[in-house]
Structures are given as C-alpha cells and as structure tokens.
Amino acid sequence: MIRVNLLPRKVQAKREGSKAWVVVLVAAAVLEIVGIAIVHGGKKRELDAQLDENRQLEADIADKKSKVANHENVKRQLAEFQAREDAIAKLQAGRTGPTAVMLELSRILTPGKLPTMDKETIDKLKVENPGMLPNEKWDPHRLWLGGFKELDRTIEIGGVGSTNGDVAEFLRRMTVSRFFTDVMLVKTEEQNSVKVMAVGTTYTTIAFTIKGKVRY
C-alpha cells in the first residue's frame, strides 16, 4: 500500500489563498483610493467653479453698490438744485406777484372788463352754475375799495358797495378770478353814508370785508 502525504500541499494552497486575498484587498484598496481621488477631483472642480461664481457675484455687487452710492449723490444734488430753483421762483413771485394782483383788482373794477378766468372754469360754470358767471353789464363805479392787506399771501379787502348786489358781484368776480382762491365774505354792514342835502334823503350803503388767498 502506497501512502501519500498531502499536508505540504494543503499548507501551500493555504498560503496561495492568503496571497490571493491580500491581492484582492490591495486591489480593492487601490480602487477605493482611485475612486476617492476621482470624486475629490470632481468636487474640487465644482468648488473652484462655485468660488469663481461667488467672486464674480461679489464683484457685481460691489459695482452695483458703487453705482447706487453715486445715484444717491446725484439725487441729493438734484434736490439741492430744485430747492434753489424753488427759492428763486418764490422770490421772483414775491416781487412780481403783488403787482399782478393789483392789476387784476383794477381789471375787476373797470367797466366792460371781466376777471381773468381759465376757459375750463368758464365752460364748467356755464354748465353747472351759470349764476356764478360775472355780469358783464355791472357798473364797477357802484363799489369802492377802502383797504387792502396781505400777509403770507392771505388777503383782507374792505370797501363799500351801493347795494348788497354790488358786493355780491364783486365777490363773484374775485371767486372766479384765477388770481384768487378761498374767497369768502366775512361780514357786511349797512351804513348811512350818503346824504343828498337838496332833498334831505340819506342813502344806505353796504360796508363789507372779504378774505381770501392770492395765487402767484
């Protein structure tokens, strides 16, 4: 009978099997390292791209902030220029305005003349309130002005009319004139101011006070 000893072969096979596992593990480790390197490279490229985009956004924001800051300076300068122009216009109006108001009052109290009115105002009154239109036939000699005061474009006019109708016509003319606004009759008072000595007759007149504002 022949006996064969297989133990050395088993040991050798076991060694070869261990080497194979080592090779597999090393290969797996290498593959994992390669995979990690590939993933890391991709992530790094994404990070670099994002950083570049962030830098571009920061540059755009800085540019816009610069433009906005300049815009505010421009707006402030324009506001200053507008304020100067308004002040100049106010001074100019304050110099020429009173003259224009006096000329308008003269026009209102001139026979055959009418107040200075906008066409839109005339057309509106014709439709909505014809009674507010001035009477072209009114004789301004039936009314006299006795006083005129102005403070901060608020005026007070005092005078005497032959009748209440004359005072009403003067009030109507001031109301529709584009040189006056917020016109109102403050008071009227009858007074015996005219006496005809030949016949011994005393005529009653109407003293009035009107307030309002001027436009100029």
Does 9 share its domain with 56? Answer: yes
- Return the pLDDT at 189: 93
More confident position, 69 or 172: 172
Q: Name the pLDDT band for 138 (thresholds 50, 70, 90).
A: very high
Does residue 214 carry a pLDDT above 70?
yes
The verdict on residue 191 lying in a domain is yes
Tell me the C-alpha distance between 207 and 163, whole Å. Answer: 9
The verdict on residue 128 lying in a domain is yes
Q: Which of 98, 131, 153 is at the close of a domain? A: 98
How many domains does the structure of the chain reveal?
A: 2
CB atoms within 10 A of CB 140: 18
Give the residue numbers spanning the domain of 128: 109-214
Q: Which of 98, 124, 154 is at the close of a domain? A: 98
E strand or H helix at 214? strand 201-214
Does residue 84 carry a pLDDT above 80?
no
Does residue 100 carry a pLDDT above 90?
no
Helix, coil or strand: residue 175: helix
Does 61 share its domain with 119? Answer: no
Region 200-206 average pLDDT:
76
The verdict on residue 103 lying in a domain is no
The verdict on residue 26 lying in a domain is yes
